[in-house]
Structure 1
């Protein structure tokens, strides 16, 4: 198979032995792989793969099932699928636990489907399962045009929630509106806390999906409604911050902080099953769709990482073998 190695931080396309599916696994012939910030962090040495995972970059793929490992009965060779991986996506073949595979509807382009698994599982496990966002509630999404944020906007609107986003610059603000955001805030020129409180009549939002981390902890709490929840899924501004526990208790607020990659297989299986039950109907009817910024050949993985680093993406960069 062809795969990207990242020795000494250099992304290089190489020929490697074909992987074989083990018990409970499927072998996917990759149509596309999604590029995520975790891949960039792994190259930098800050996010190593969990024990037993492939050292190859790539946490999500789409493609067709090429072979089944022992004990796999829910999938067949030739099935159109997308999947959540702990590693191994930047390749022409990838081995995936069968419990982390999702069907790609015939109405959906197979390459574009690679933009869905990581975002769908991250957003739903945090905003749906932990925070319990419900129809009629209000969600604040920081980074509303990124891979996670764009999916969160589409899913929450399909659910029946009100969605507020923050992003930087007029182009991204307009993109958030185009995705369906009810209010799109330019964090470069506006105070998002003041904008949120004005829009909600002083009440605040029920859930915050945060990719910023330490710098936004206090401000997220200010923007939160009573009994609200802050779900932190990244810490781009730093890992350590201060929080006013008195203000948190007064609002009866809760905060969670999670990663997905290193979770045990049974937890990932439960998340994927929940996504299939509660998110996939919106994918099938078209209300939730992949948001793709650009598609590059696998050999140009370094360019994909550069595009992600410059912060101007709307949706996901995909790599095709």
Structure 2
């Protein structure tokens, strides 16, 4: 089969299209899937540039997100049958083959049937960001109806689905974006208030929009500087959830005075630590999100579709920043 292989860390050019043997099932819970599309995420570019998680993880096939057709099932693979269209987040961290390939093995607990209303490319753009947004909003911050939620980088991969999930929960959604074009996009998917952060101080804007109270929940999808700046934008007894390491120089005094709850979301944990129950929870999240997609209540934005051989170009585009939605590779 064709696969994009990384032999060493480095620039996008370290990714090369190679011929590899097709993977063979080793457990009865596994599915063998013919990949129709693979999502590309920022974590892929970080692993490519700095190295994979496992010391003996090279050479590696990256790519956590996938959508395709089941071509073989184990005896303990549950409801799945040959020919089923599925979507999933699995592999791609080093050691376990990822989805930049024509075939992949997936544990059946992590996979769910693809929403019927969307194509494979759109489905492949969804799993990692949907699971991340769901865990951040509902498992960490416990978002409920009537709360005000601030989502940073609302036009990005995690941001654009987080806006929609928070709205489904009955929250008032504020979001930050960099351009007027992105402002129009996030309004179209449900954002109540949009803050153009290059032009406006987002802390002042949030406090103005909430009568000085701050947002009940703030989701940081950007990084340390935004995390630190977000603390005075959180309501007393509110939640600040981040997807990234906030760094060593955080001034915690104001967070303590606000009696804030700090949360971390890394949806890769079940794969990194081999946690079967958490992996199954990810499958449950995909099932619930799939229902929302098919009901027309959740939209997954595809920023672009590239051939598998152009994985390096996809990485360049992600590292350039400011994409609207997700990039997808097509084997």
Q: TM-score, normalised by structure 1?
A: 0.92
Does structure 1 residue 140 correspond to structure 2 residue 150? yes
User: In structure 2, which of residues 242, 246, 250 is the aligned counterpart of residue 242 of structure 1?
Assistant: 250
- Cα deviation digits, residues 191-215 of structure 1 (max 9, x gap): 0011111111111111111123321
Once the two structures are TM-superposed, the CA of residue 187 in structure 1 deviates from its matched residue by 1.3
Q: Which residue of 2 aligns with 1:14?
A: 18
Question: What SS does the aligned partner of 2:104 have?
Answer: strand
From 133, 136, 155, the equivalent of 2:165 is 155
Distance in 1 separating the partners of 2:47 and 2:57: 15
Could you tell me how far 1:128 is from its partner in structure 2?
1.0
After superposing the two structures, state which structure 1 stretch, 131-140 or 265-274, moved more: 265-274
Which 10-residue stretch deviates more, 150-159 or 82-91?
150-159
Instruction: Pick one of 286, 300, 303 that aligns with 2:310.
Output: 300
Distance 1:273 1:61, change over 3 A: closer
Q: In structure 2, the residue corresponding to 1:91 is in which secondary structure?
A: coil
In 1: Cα distance, 2:75 partner to 2:214 partner: 51
Q: 5 Å matches for 1:163-182?
A: 163-182=173-192
Structure 1 runs of 4+ with >4 Å offset: 49-54
Structure 2 Cα separation of the partners of residues 304 and 175 of structure 1: 22
Cα shift readout 1:221-240 (whole Å, capped 9, x = no counterpart): 211112211111035xx632
Residue segments in structure 1 that go unaligned for 5+ positions in a row: none
SS of alignment partner, residue 111 of structure 1 = helix
CA offset digits 1:99-130 (Å, max 9, x no partner): 11022122221221001110111111121111
Relative distance call for 1:69 and 1:233 in structure 2 (3 A) is same
Q: Deviation of residue 189 (structure 1)?
A: 1.2
Q: How many residues align?
A: 318
Give unpaired runs (5+ residues) of structure 2.
93-97
1:209 aligns with 2:209: no
2:300 equivalent to 1:290: yes
Q: Distance between the aligned counterparts of 2:54 and 2:295, measured in 1?
A: 35
Alignment of 1:2 onto 2:2: yes
Deviation larger for 187-196 or 149-158:
149-158
CA 120–54 in structure 1, closer or farther in 2 if over 3 Å, else same? farther
TM (normalized to structure 2)? 0.90
**Distance in 1 of aligned mates of 2:107 and 2:149:** 32
Shift of 1:145: 0.9
Cα distance in 1 for partners of 2:176, 2:282 equals: 28
Match 1:69 to one of 71, 74, 78: 74
Partner of 2:329: 319
57, 61, 64: which is aligned to 1:56?
A: 61
- Secondary structure, aligned partner of 1:5: strand
Measured in 2, the distance between the counterparts of 1:207 and 1:271 equals: 23
Task: Give the SS at the match of 2:109.
Answer: helix
Structure 1 Cα separation of the partners of residues 58 and 265 of structure 2? 19
Contact 1:53/1:86 (CA < 8 Å) preserved in 2? no
Residue 90 of structure 1 pairs with residue 90 of structure 2: no
